Structure 1
Amino acid sequence: MRVVQVSAHYPPNHVSGGTLVPQRLARGLAARGHEVFVYAGHLDEHRRPLETWTEDDGSGVQVRWIVTTPWTAWADPRNSVNPPVGEDFARWLDEVKPDVVHLHSLQTLGGELVEVAQRAGAAVVVTMHDFWWTCARQFLVAPDMRPCSLVVDCGTCPCAGGHTWLERRNTVLARYLRHADVVLTPSASAGAVLEANGVDGARLRVDENGVPPEDLVGAPVPHAGDDEPHPVRLLFAGTPDPMKGIDVLLRAVDTLPSDGSWTLDVYGVPERGRHRPEVRFHPRYGRDEVAEVFATHDVLVLPSVMRESYSIVTREALGSGLAVVCTDTLGPEEVVRDGENGLVVPAGDADSLAAALRRLAESPALVRRLRGGTQAVPIRTVDEQLDHVEEVYRELVDREDPAEHPEQRTAEVDAGLRSLVNRVLVVVGIRGAALRYRGRLPAEALRMRGFTVDVRHYRDPEIAELADRADVVVLYRVPATVQVADLVDRVRARDRAVPVLFDVDDLIFDPELEGEVHGLHVLSAEEHALWWRGVARYRTTLEMCDAYVGSTEALCAHVTAVTGIPAHRFANGVGQALAQVSDEALARPRTPGPLRIGYFSGTNTHDADWAAVEPAVVRVLASHPDVELWLGGQLGTGPALEQFGDRVRRLPMLPWYELPQRLRDVDVNLAPLVLDNRFNEAKSAIKWLEAALVETPTVASPTQPFREAVEHGVTGMLATDEESWVEAITTLLDDPLARRRTGSRARRDALLRWGPHAQGERYEEILTTVWRARAADGPRAASGWEPVLDDEPLDSTEGWLDPYPGIPAGSADHLRELLLRVPGGSKVVAAGRVLRSDGPVAVVRRTAFVVRRKLVG
């Protein structure tokens, strides 16, 4: 095969772990008989920009150099897209005519080289050694050395040129990346982050970096001094780059006692001015010294702030019998098991790192146990990596004709189907948080995947016109009306398949469940009857539809059991607006004060849930006299709390965009639910999700959604009875490291599993499945359900939905101003629409409606 390796930097001009990989692949493939060429950026201030030349690298590989010195700054537009380089690359590929182009780091060369390679007719492979495709600074670390949001769309980091600039940059790069056939990543954890940022998971494959035999650590040397008592010997092996965490480590050890219980040897960092006598600085050691260095230490400390896509030194240390203390920066965690062969702490957190090191210094027995849990971790060789890369190349080059290749035919069918399912109308029957989670967030996620989505109230006069253009109609919590029935009939009468879906995220569509619903005791007889008529109306709308979309397994199972309608699970997830407000709250210091337990009930329907956990909370407050309890929303509590006086704080309900700051200020969040209750089993894990986004750990009841979200002891705690609630809350209150680590892991899981890109992919999958079924089987036949409908004429005022702005490149404060401003930009636009369709009287009625809502609360 004729193979091209492309790298922004290349030895000997620039040597690093990321530049050695393409060199090793190029030379290894050449040695195996392939024709190999290299296209590489060159850094040289004495040569003119874009100057090119070709030379042999000494192994028979021809290297085409191009000078890219002026564009190394992360914020430089030509660091990301560099048209002159793309033009030179295209001309050079016309001469080389490769079968495969394998692109590695592309900063200064530009992302458009991926498209250029595909246009040249080559199979295209991209290896992402870091996170440059979504983070211009490459390592998901902000300029102030704070770890950035793992999902960039959910963060507010300033990056290299501002967050809005970053989003525009990433949109452009994503278009270029679509031209890659395969995307390789050094580890599964890095791959999960890339997929959560929108990289197509179907094209992602893990390709661990290989290590040459001469660089592998030999047999472990017996550890010196192990037979005699000695201080815990800590080791740092890295560089002075702040992203490697040396400053965090030095701040952490500054808080450790001077009692002879520990020492720290720092390799590869110049000696600092004043430092602790226990800290010793050494030059960087050579490969032939690795075994001896490891043999004189007990614990490797890896305090990286940057996200590590792999980590050879972690694997070498474990294989040599050292325990490892690492940060939660992905690559190291693939082999460090907290409490078994090391400890894992949140990145950039000197206090948590100090707590972990203090535990080791105080407990030689713990150090021995962790070292006893280490074992040789397999480290891939260069030959093994070459085998895998060759296999990928052959698979792409030998691809069959699309007409004879089932997978390719499926991809083409899906692409054609996407052209038929592109415009979605979401009709909603409720406002507030429920609308955000089931209407706004799916719309946002689908738009990120290129869909056109309209979200309108069921009484909006424009819904009929929008339905005429829609490819799919989703009815979310829409009660049955004469007008809704007409709308569904109108969609059914179209000359092509347009499926209609029903979505509701509560068990409020089955009148047979009367008597099982908590919280209805606060209603009058008239309100009670009206509530259950609403249930029958929801059921009527459901029966009109082709399929159901639900937030939990229990909801989906119940719908299919009582109606036979096919159900599809779409869990409540993370939206950009809430995630970005949460990111800003996380960046602020926690409000000073005592430890706090928080429970935010929202409505007054959670009294029974609180009653189930109140005895445990009373016991915890009694045993922790400095702990406060914060109760938010409308909640009835028992007399047992009165003994704690002002340690129990009652907080009013807040707008959704202020909730993250309140969750940030509590140390333990509670999410109790009465167990063995069908309604509660159907409720989603939103309370865990919202707290996770600000790294506040949650103790929850083990309903199915919470069991799905929470890995007990890792991303939260699950409790079933009074004793387990007391134990879980106490554990988190008494152990700051466990509290901090649990919150950090919860945030990661929330972003990676339920971030907007993952949500969009899932919803697209549902739309595709439902459209196929509708096209094949026709509309669902009428059931035996007796319809319950009301007459609610379309009306611009009653059909108004408040605007849903994203977070501007600024802060949550600006979002707050947008939402509270009267009149404000988006509302003026919407009022203009009402004025045009219904005249000035409707505008006045709408204004009165808004004012009345605000007064009522």
Structure 2
Amino acid sequence: MKIQFLIHQFYPTSQYGAETYAYHLGLGLQTQGHQVSVFYRENHLPRQFGLRQRLLEEELEVDGLPVHRVFLNPRYGVGRGAFFHFLTTFYNPAIEEAFARHLDRLRPDLIHVHHLLYLSGGLLAVACRRGIPVVATLHDFWYFCPNAQLLRPGGEICGQNPTLHCGACMKALYGGRIPRAILPLGAPFFAWTRRHLRRAMSKVQILVAPSQFLLDEYVRQGYPADRMIMVEHGLPEQGLDQIVRSDELAYPVRVGYVGSLTRHKGVHVLIDAFRRIPPEQATLDVYGSPDPFPEYSADLRQLAVGHDHIRLRGAFEHGRLRQVLQDLDLLVVPSLWYENSPVVIQEAFSAGVPVVASRLGALPEKVQEGVQGLLFEPGDVESLAQVLSGVLADPGQLMALRQNLRGYRNSFDEHLNRISGLYESLLSPRAGR
């Protein structure tokens, strides 16, 4: 089967959750005999990109995965300013034309969408006109929330009708001199944007959500429940299941965070809570690149000043993941937004590392409280400090959580079979193929 992945960004320049999942899924499907290729837009323009050049396309290979990436010259966008910058996050005729040429050349049997941000909703119509079935995995809320996180500029979680606050988000995200007085007038436009993307996604035959929470949110926003299915993300073990854990707990306990250093991930909440933990009880290692959000990273460093047991380690190559998790006794996921299915939780469980997570979004689905880890109230420094202090003062509890994870099983082969089974259901004679 020839499968075309569509994603907003990809390896090697971007290695966040959606990209990591798509990367491993693509490699895994190849081991089953499928031909998988990736189409994505690269936002970091190369030096050889001429000022008068509209579009640049490149073919490359990432660990055996054929990749077709496109660079779009912003001078040839649909306009200038914050409004048009926002418009190009979901509407790009030039990319639609490039994708049409790519499909006509490659002729895939099926398309698997992982994200359309900065690509174009019209890509699905391009596929539909060629009779190519489409599966889409939902990774966040972008198809009905411009910033994909259901968070307002001040960090508050959006309520039942996020459209009312979209104008303020556009101003915060994309800049531009937008008079505050006209921001409420943006609501009808954003309502249209959501309808536009929902119409585009109506061409998807199967919508896959990695959590029940995410599935329910999309149904609440008008997406058809009969075309949605919940399938937990799958990842290869990467040797994590071979880590040998001691039957005794040594102090100081090694606590860690692995992920993006951005405010909605709540790293400042973790560091603030950890300032109350005695150094002889535990250390905290924070892994993540400071480059995407340097001001926030500087705030984190300042927050940790005077607390030598809190260490900001920076980013690491993904090949070092096993060593990083082997050196941890406890992982914290202190998110302030509705997380859906953080792959780092699966990786931690595979490595025998219990997780302390915010009681928010899909995290209570992913971390069974008292069995695989513990939960705390999101954004509440005192709540997190109390949970950490409690588990650090009771080594038996932490060892029991670790013991429970010895039976954790994340079968990547089963996940691959589940996904390829969805593909086959669309290509069977009964599906009209």
TM exceeding 0.5:
yes
Tell me which residue corresponds to 2:211.
187
Q: How far has the Cα of 1:169 moved from its partner?
A: 1.8
- Within the candidate set 235, 241, 245, 2:266 is matched to 245
Could you tell me how far apart the structure 2 residues matched to 1:139 and 1:323 are? Answer: 26
Pairing 1:394–2:424 present: yes
CA 1:222 to 1:370, structure 2 compared with 1: closer, same or farther past 3 Å? closer
Q: How far has the Cα of 1:31 moved from its partner?
A: 5.3
Pairing 1:127–2:126 present: no
Residue 89 of structure 1: SS of its match in structure 2?
helix
Pairing 1:3–2:9 present: no
Q: How far has the Cα of 1:95 moved from its partner?
A: 4.0
Residue 55 of structure 1: SS of its match in structure 2?
strand
Residue 3 of structure 1: SS of its match in structure 2?
strand
CA 1:301 to 1:16, structure 2 compared with 1: closer, same or farther past 3 Å? closer
Aligned partners of 2:11 and 2:62 also within 8 Å: no
1:75-120 C-alpha deviation (Å, 9 max, x unpaired): 6111022233223323443444433122221111112212221122
Answer 1 or 2: higher relative contact order, Cα 8 Å, separation at least 6. 2
- Within the candidate set 289, 296, 299, 2:330 is matched to 299
Equivalence map 1:544-583=2 (5 Å): none
CA 1:68 to 1:193, structure 2 compared with 1: closer, same or farther past 3 Å? farther
Could you tell me how far apart the structure 1 residues matched to 2:327 and 2:64 are? Answer: 42
Pairing 1:272–2:272 present: no
Tell me which residue corresponds to 2:369.
338
Residue 89 of structure 2: SS of its match in structure 1?
helix
Q: How far has the Cα of 1:246 moved from its partner?
A: 1.0
CA 1:389 to 1:177, structure 2 compared with 1: closer, same or farther past 3 Å? same
1:457-507 C-alpha deviation (Å, 9 max, x unpaired): xxxxxxxxxxxxxxxxxxxxxxxxxxxxxxxxxxxxxxxxxxxxxxxxxxx
CA 1:166 to 1:262, structure 2 compared with 1: closer, same or farther past 3 Å? farther
Q: How far has the Cα of 1:37 moved from its partner?
A: 4.2
Could you tell me how far apart the structure 2 residues matched to 1:288 and 1:103 are? Answer: 26
List gaps (5 residues or longer) in structure 2.
Answer: 172-182, 291-299
Aligned partners of 1:340 and 1:370 also within 8 Å: yes
Letter in 2 for 1:203: R
CA 1:349 to 1:224, structure 2 compared with 1: closer, same or farther past 3 Å? same
Letter in 2 for 1:139: Q
Pairing 1:104–2:114 present: yes
1:799-857 C-alpha deviation (Å, 9 max, x unpaired): xxxxxxxxxxxxxxxxxxxxxxxxxxxxxxxxxxxxxxxxxxxxxxxxxxxxxxxxxxx
Pairing 1:222–2:245 present: yes
Aligned partners of 1:132 and 1:139 also within 8 Å: yes
Letter in 1 for 2:132: A
Alpha-carbon RMSD across the aligned residues, in angstroms, is: 3.4
Q: How many residues of Structure 1 are paired with residues of Structure 2 in the alignment?
A: 396
Q: How far has the Cα of 1:12 moved from its partner?
A: 3.0
Tell me which residue corresponds to 2:71.
67
1:746-775 C-alpha deviation (Å, 9 max, x unpaired): xxxxxxxxxxxxxxxxxxxxxxxxxxxxxx
Could you tell me how far apart the structure 2 residues matched to 1:13 and 1:316 are? Answer: 21
Could you tell me how far apart the structure 2 residues matched to 1:171 and 1:211 are? Answer: 33
For the pair shown, which has the larger CA radius of gyration, 1 or 2?
1
Equivalence map 1:667-678=2 (5 Å): none
- Within the candidate set 228, 234, 238, 1:204 is matched to 228
CA 1:93 to 1:343, structure 2 compared with 1: closer, same or farther past 3 Å? same
Residue 69 of structure 2: SS of its match in structure 1?
strand
Residue 88 of structure 2: SS of its match in structure 1?
helix
Aligned partners of 1:86 and 1:113 also within 8 Å: yes
Could you tell me how far apart the structure 2 residues matched to 1:37 and 1:298 are? Answer: 38
Tell me which residue corresponds to 2:293.
none
Pairing 1:53–2:66 present: no
Residue 280 of structure 1: SS of its match in structure 2?
strand
Could you tell me how far apart the structure 1 residues matched to 2:65 and 2:392 are? Answer: 52
Pairing 1:378–2:409 present: yes
Aligned partners of 1:232 and 1:263 also within 8 Å: yes
Tell me which residue corresponds to 1:42.
42
CA 1:90 to 1:253, structure 2 compared with 1: closer, same or farther past 3 Å? same
Equivalence map 1:357-372=2 (5 Å): 357-372=388-403
Tell me which residue corresponds to 1:15.
15
Pairing 1:347–2:368 present: no
Could you tell me how far apart the structure 1 residues matched to 2:206 and 2:318 are? Answer: 33
Aligned partners of 2:112 and 2:136 also within 8 Å: yes
1:575-633 C-alpha deviation (Å, 9 max, x unpaired): xxxxxxxxxxxxxxxxxxxxxxxxxxxxxxxxxxxxxxxxxxxxxxxxxxxxxxxxxxx
Aligned partners of 1:2 and 1:99 also within 8 Å: yes
Aligned partners of 2:336 and 2:378 also within 8 Å: yes
Q: How far has the Cα of 1:195 moved from its partner?
A: 2.2
- Within the candidate set 184, 191, 199, 1:175 is matched to 199
Letter in 1 for 2:195: T
Residue 276 of structure 1: SS of its match in structure 2?
coil
Q: How far has the Cα of 1:185 moved from its partner?
A: 2.2
Aligned partners of 1:321 and 1:374 also within 8 Å: yes
Residue 160 of structure 1: SS of its match in structure 2?
helix
CA 1:142 to 1:252, structure 2 compared with 1: closer, same or farther past 3 Å? farther
- Within the candidate set 280, 283, 288, 1:263 is matched to 283
TM-score by length of 1: 0.42
Q: How far has the Cα of 1:396 moved from its partner?
A: 0.8
List gaps (5 residues or longer) in structure 1.
Answer: 406-857
1:336-369 C-alpha deviation (Å, 9 max, x unpaired): 2223442212333333323322333454454445
Tell me which residue corresponds to 2:349.
318
Letter in 2 for 1:188: Q
Aligned partners of 2:150 and 2:162 also within 8 Å: no
Could you tell me how far apart the structure 1 residues matched to 2:122 and 2:430 are? Answer: 27
Q: How far has the Cα of 1:8 moved from its partner?
A: 1.9
Residue 79 of structure 1: SS of its match in structure 2?
coil
